[in-house]
Structure 1
Amino acid sequence: MQQHIAIIGAGIGGLSLAWALHKRGARVSLYEQGAIPNPISSSFDEHRITRHTYGGLSGYGALMPLAFRAYEELWRDLGATHYLPTNLLYVARRASDWYEATAGELDAMGIAHRPVSKAEIATRLPMLRQEGIAEAFEAEGAGMLFASRIVTDLARWLAEAGVALHPHSRVSEVDTEAGSFTVNGERRSADVVVIAAGAWLPAIYPAARPRLTPSRQVMLYLQPPVELATAWAAAPVLVDQGVTHGGYILPPRGGTRLKIGDHVFTRRGDGSDNRIATPEDVAAVKTAASEIFEGFERYELLEAKVCYYTVTDDERFVVEPIGARSWLLSACSGHGFKLGPVIASGLADAITGKRDATEVTAWAAGKG
């Protein structure tokens, strides 16, 4: 008998899981409280960084070649490649062993990398402040995933493949033992229920708190000064690690805008909150940007976009069975997009009996 899987949440995790399960012969129903894809979800964004570098979060570097291969499979199915290789430049403005930790992983994977001098940064990347740079390095095997294009095409592929998509379907409660749930006031069931609801996950499954905490984040989209347009058009993706900030910057390439965010989790708010950026939201990222960009006051703020993650203290994926007939799927950090299809493929193998559940839980947490 064909296994019926219900997935709650149509971000990159839920969409990728529906894709992976359908390819394994399961019958899939996908529920999302908004449109599919949902414009207010954190997965609906212009671009996201992907890379092989993962120093400081052990276990995930080894997953990245698998992640790139999973995306190659996805591109074949979608008939389009929504990825632009750019390299990645990492800038440290404080003492750090990040390069040392990362170099070994990159060498093992055969990914080229090199130190970058301040003189080269001044010539090639004049938009960066020189003051305070302790070291920098550049690595290949990195670039930008065009996120909103991916989830849009993936939703289209699922619909054409016959996956049952249920937009505007709010799930309010899940019985993890029975595999049943309430959606828009109606009781439904499946052989297995997967809660992949992002920032809404703790509201649907309260037992996840306080381990999984919604975190309100903001990203700034900017128009750079005219005189820096050429430099930005050739720039790699950037990670700038300061004393109080962990800035990530995506250049305005491939039809996107310049974006900066700060990898400092607020751990406040709720997925049901509005997405209107407040002065408090914007101020922290502006402070980071002023420490990273030379002459930041010359940049025009085009948009301040609020998104939500559900985060854990260790920033590792939570992929685990709950009850007799349910699973949790949560990225627990901003790295969910780059690893979404490969983690979903591992979970699909566990649900369909091809991999051991305990092994997949450890593997998804970078401990397998």
Structure 2
Amino acid sequence: MAAEYDCIVVGAGIEGSSTAYNLVKEGQRTLLLEQFPLPHSRGSSHGQSRITRMAYGGEDYYTEMMIEAFKLWTELENEYGTTLYRKTGLLAVGRPGCDLIDGTVESLRKYSVSYTKLDEHELRSKYPMLHYPADFVAVEDHTGGILFADKALAAFQTEFLRHGGTLQDNEPVVDVFPGDIVTVNTNKASYRGRNLVLTVGPWATKVLPTLGVQLPLKTLRISVLYWREKTPGEYGAETFPIVLDDNCVGQYDIYGLPSLEYPGLYKLCLHAGPEVDPDRRDEADSTWVVENMKQYVADHFPRLEPHPAIIETCIYTNSPDHDFVLDRHPAWDNIIIGAGFSGHGFKLSPVVGKILADLVLKKNPSYNLSHFKIDRFNRKYEGVEY
């Protein structure tokens, strides 16, 4: 006979693990399923570091969620007994009047978050190791910093198990049969649940269509690049902040994290990459990404060696508007979908897990979820190629 649960969560990345953690703390008998042996590096939640910040210019709903996310990360740190966040500050650079600069200032000011504006002279004086055009200015978000990604994922999974949850890894889902009781068949067993949460990351493009849900999602392979410091420690986390730049490489954003993961190596990446099949991601050609970043480093980070010392990979699952999907299945209200985190969902995962758990429990969510509804794609992108 198939084992029965109050809820089955498919996908043990950061969003699924947070959701399962929130459910089991609400007294729900919860199964968390993962297709790969844990830990693994095939999805979007592996690695040692992620950026966190308070400001989301023009997107107040994310800033409001981040206010709670910071509190929930602290609670998880205390529960798990390990540091998960290191404050370094965040430096947003760009030309006066650009969306990144004005939006960051507007957001931080609105929510009374500490920040400092730097004019072009102050930027060059304070950060001589950065070479941007003479008219560039900057904003320092003093809440910005680094989340220790691997530790954060382990914290959610460990605390989920400690509260009585069941975690099965190396167990791909083969079939899902909706109904008042959902049946989930894997390559090893069959499970039944009153509710199902699908947080399957890049595999949303494959899993959701089998359940009649077509979302305009793209999976991109991101090259995670580490660059050697010419002077060790110059870009270190003790003195150097996170950097964001959305002006210097065409339509693409740049993000950088201080040297911390690997001694003497600064993490600097393009927020874009080739579209891939998540099961065949190693076939993609990322040469254009690396070449663009080599030129970027030579132009703007001259005290880094202009060739990456280490290249790792990650997958983003992007929606057209880069907003998440946090919603019920259109036909089955006991199937909940979390998808399309577009490379910025990790920092918000404590709140995402809480929201998805609230949807399972049929509680009124703490946030307006209109930005995250499935039907927005029909309203906003009908007839638009993506």
Q: TM-score, normalised by structure 1?
A: 0.88
Q: Tell me how far apart the structure 1 counterparts of residues 198 and 234 of structure 2 sit (CA, whole Å).
A: 44
Give, in whole Å, the separation in 1 of the partners of 2:261 and 2:86.
7
Label 1:307 to 1:270 Cα distance change in 2 as closer, same or farther (>3 A): same
Percent identical across equivalent pairs?
A: 26
Gaps of 5+ in 1: none
Distance in 2 of aligned mates of 1:172 and 1:287: 45
Q: One-letter code of the match for 2:19?
A: L
Provide the secondary structure at the position in 2 that maps to 1:273. helix
Q: Measure, in 2, the Cα distance between the counterparts of 1:208 and 1:304.
A: 35
Residue number in structure 2 paired with 1:293: 301
Residue pair 1:309, 1:333 contacting (<8 A) in 2 also: yes
Q: Which residue does 2:382 correspond to in 1? A: none
Contact 1:310 1:333 in 2 (8 A): yes
Does residue 225 (structure 1) correspond to residue 234 (structure 2)? The answer is no
1:290–1:73 CA distance, 2 compared to 1 (3 A): same
Report the CA distance shift for 1:260/1:208 in structure 2 as closer, same or farther (over 3 A). farther
Matches within 5 A, 1:38-49: 38-49=40-51
Residues 93 and 132, structure 1, Cα contact 8 Å, conserved in 2: no
1:124-176 deviation digits (Å, cap 9, x = unpaired): 32331133552211121111101012112332222333311111011133234
Asked if structure 2 preserves the Cα contact closer than 8 Å seen for 1:28 and 1:163, the reply is yes
Change (3 A) 1:78 1:164: same
Q: State whether structure 2 residue 354 is matched by structure 1 residue 345.
A: yes
1:333 maps to 342
Match of 2:363?
Answer: 354
Output the TM-score relative to the length of structure 2: 0.85
What letter is aligned with 1:293?
Answer: F
Change (3 A) 1:133 1:218: farther
The answer for the alignment partner of 1:160 in structure 2 is 162
Q: Greater shift after overlay, 31-40 or 142-151?
A: 31-40
Question: Which one of the candidate residues 238, 245, 248 is aligned to 1:240?
Answer: 245
Residue among 176, 183, 194 paired with 2:186: 183
CA contact (8 A) 1:124 1:231 kept: no
Q: Deviations over 1:256-312 (max 9, x none)?
A: 74211222354x10211244775345334334434432255x245222112112110
Query: What residue is the counterpart of 1:118 in the other structure?
Result: 120
Q: Quick one: structure 1 residues 133 and 208, their matched pair in 2 at CA, closer, same or farther if it must change by over 3 Å?
A: farther
In the alignment, what sits opposite 1:12?
14
Contact 2:58 2:107 in 1 (8 A): no
Q: Which runs of 5+ in 2 are unaligned?
A: 377-386
Residue identity matched to 1:239: L
Q: Using the alignment, how far apart are the partners of 1:191 and 1:237 within structure 2?
A: 43
Letter matched to residue 370 of structure 2: A
Offset, 1:361? 3.5
Answer yes or no: is the 8 Å Cα contact 1:251–1:258 preserved in 2.
Answer: yes
Aligned to 1:60, the other structure's residue is in SS state helix
- Rounded Cα–Cα distance in structure 2 between residues aligned with 1:98 and 1:279: 27
| Aligned length, in residue pairs | 361
2:220–2:273 Cα contact (<8 Å) kept:
yes
Q: SS of the residue aligned with 2:61?
A: coil
Are the counterparts in 1 of residues 22 and 354 from structure 2 also a CA contact under 8 Å? yes
Q: Separation in 2 of the partners of 1:229 and 1:108?
A: 35
Per the alignment, do residues 363 and 96 of structure 1 end up closer, same or farther by CA in structure 2, a change over 3 Å counting?
Answer: closer
* 1:52 matched residue in structure 2: 54
Please give the root-mean-square deviation of Cα atoms over the aligned residues, in Å: 2.6
2:328 corresponds to 1:321 = yes
Contact 1:10–1:30 (CA<8 Å) still a contact in 2?
A: yes
Distance 2:64 2:170 in 1: 37
Secondary structure of the structure 2 residue equivalent to 1:19: helix
Evaluate the alpha carbon distance shift between residue 132 and residue 211 of structure 1 in structure 2; reply closer, same or farther with a 3 A threshold.
farther
Q: Supply the distance in 2 between the matched residues of 1:255 and 1:216 (Cα, whole angstroms).
A: 22
- Per-residue CA shift, 1:58-114, capped at 9, x if unaligned? 421222101111212211221122100111110015851433333232123221112
User: For residues 325 and 142 of structure 2, what CA distance do their matches in structure 1 show?
Assistant: 29
Which residue of structure 2 aligns with residue 282 of structure 1?
290
SS of corresponding position for 1:105 = helix
Q: 1:195 aligns with which of 187, 195, 198?
A: 198
